[in-house]
Amino acid sequence: MKGTGWCRTGQVVESMTEQETHRNRQALFEGLAHVVAEPLHRYLLRRTTPDMVEDVLSETMLVLWRRIDDVPGLGTGPIPDPDDVLPWCYGVARGCLANACRADGRRLRLVERLIQTQQSPAATASDHSDLHAALDDLGELEREMVRLWAWEGLAPGQIAEVTGLTSNAVSIRLHRAKKKLAAQMHLTRKNTERPGHKPDEGRSSQ
């Protein structure tokens, strides 16, 4: 009887420990979700069709729950620092999106959208056309690095965490991609200008 009593006590203690562990994991996940859900939604919206975003986001959050112990930057407080956790979470979202596209038997379709500016609609449309054409000339990985840098605001070290490259490799390839992007956009705009048109034409001399 005494042995049975000790056994039951051990089971109760083990059960309480499991409950405490679950509560701690739940608290960590809720803090993480509070920080990353909206950025991940934006990340996916810029890279796929709207009808896929919610499904891929749900899958991403499920992976984050399952791998909560692997997420860097957790455990130091109730709300993690976005700079600590977002690069790793972007990597998870990127993998989930690739898996979803393979499962659907479709190529990854990327939505290339400029950040909202104070420019006029006509100017924004023109700039978007130039950007679209220039981005299409980059390789897939270079396109992704430029977007992570420009739209997600990530530093080379954080981009390295997302893509699996070294920080030095990202810095070199990102620098080259930005130079190529700028040159291509300049060439595109130059080719669309009217031949012989000069900015000062039609103005009276002072």
Question: 42-51, 71-80, 147-156 — which is least confidently predicted?
Answer: 71-80
CB 36 within 8 A of CB 83: no
Mean pLDDT of 4-17: 60
* pLDDT more than 70, % of the chain: 68
CB 43 within 8 A of CB 86: no
Chain-centre distance of CA 35, in angstroms? Answer: 13
Question: 8-22, 44-58, 86-100 — which is least confidently predicted?
Answer: 8-22
CB 93 within 8 A of CB 59: no
Helices 82-104 and 50-66 pack at an angle, to 10 degrees, of 120
Mean pLDDT of 85-106: 85
3: confidence class by pLDDT, cuts 50, 70, 90: low
Selection from 26-30, 134-138, 182-186 with the highest mean pLDDT: 26-30
Give the pTM.
Answer: 0.59
pLDDT at 195: 52
pLDDT per residue over 167-196, tens digit each?
889 988 988 888 887 777 767 666 665 555
In angstroms, the Cα distances linking 159 to 65, 120, 156, 174, 185 are: 22, 32, 5, 10, 23
The end-to-end CA distance of the chain, in Å, is: 110
Mean pLDDT (the chain) is 76
pLDDT per residue over 56-74, tens digit each?
999 999 999 999 999 988 8
pLDDT at 204 over 80: no
